[in-house]
Structure 1
């Protein structure tokens, strides 16, 4: 990519790291004249989120297997993440978009970015210890290694 980004994609989850990434992206976006898209990844369906029950689920777990309840959980979770990010960013003249995507976070983020024209991903790093990150990996690491566009990891 030799052109400047047309959009800055910021995956958010309500964490402090996501807020830092969003603040950084907004600063870049001001200079570039590009919009910022806050992206919230949520599992595709209850089985993707909770797995297949091996025992009879209790009423709390069973509730979210109903499509309406699962959609409500997704929307409430996304709104909390978007609200925390908007609070972290504060007032800005930059156009900020919000979008929910389905799937496991790293794969969904990379797939979303692949469908955009000249995107740049700005992602926060959770800050797991080096050993835990080595064993478990992280969303930011997977995005960094698999995205076909520039990725900035904000610490």
Structure 2
């Protein structure tokens, strides 16, 4: 089975990866992270420019993927990683459809504070748009 794990640098995101590694060790796991330039901090585009923002997000994703590979190795698994660019929910759903993924695993939310009580908007959009089963991990 082909599993797609959507990973951000949040506790539920890491829980989603751990779940996939523990429950599907024999399956093919692809871990994706989405670089979303629309989520940059105030003034970053003006100060750094688009290319610098892309480079910063690529570097952050490299660190995230290195950690994901280490965690996979602890489970005796190998993973494939892919950096996507765009709106997270759309990029994840489109990637899954293009690659004939059998299931998407995603953390319940990537936010903190009061909004942690609710299902994250990205996870909700993935559930609504995906044509394959979606497992949401808290």
1:27 aligns with 22
The one of 7, 12, 16 equivalent to 2:2 is 7
The unaligned stretches of length 5 or more in structure 1 are 1-5
Q: TM-score, normalised by structure 1?
A: 0.72
CA distance in 1, matches of 2:27, 2:72: 16
Report the TM-score when normalising by structure 2.
Answer: 0.80
Distance 2:48 2:14 in 1: 28
Q: Please state whether the residue corresponding to 1:37 is helix, strand or coil.
A: strand
Q: How do 1:109-124 and structure 2 match up within 5 A?
A: 109-124=92-107
Identify the match of residue 49 of structure 2 among 45, 60, 65.
Answer: 65
Give the alignment's Cα RMSD to 1 decimal.
2.5
Distance in 2 of aligned mates of 1:15 and 1:87: 17
User: Where does the alignment leave 5 or more consecutive residues of structure 2 unmatched?
Assistant: 110-114
Instruction: Tell whether 2:116 aligns with 1:128.
Output: yes
**Aligned partners of 1:93, 1:87: CA distance in 2, in Å?**
10
* Residue matched to 1:77: 60
How many Å apart are 1:140 and its aligned residue?
0.7
- Per-residue CA shift, 1:72-116, capped at 9, x if unaligned? 212112123324444555612222111100111011111110112
- Which residue of 41, 66, 76 corresponds with 2:34? 41
How far apart, in 2, do the equivalents of 1:121 and 1:81 lie?
18
Which 10-residue stretch deviates more, 82-91 or 20-29?
A: 82-91
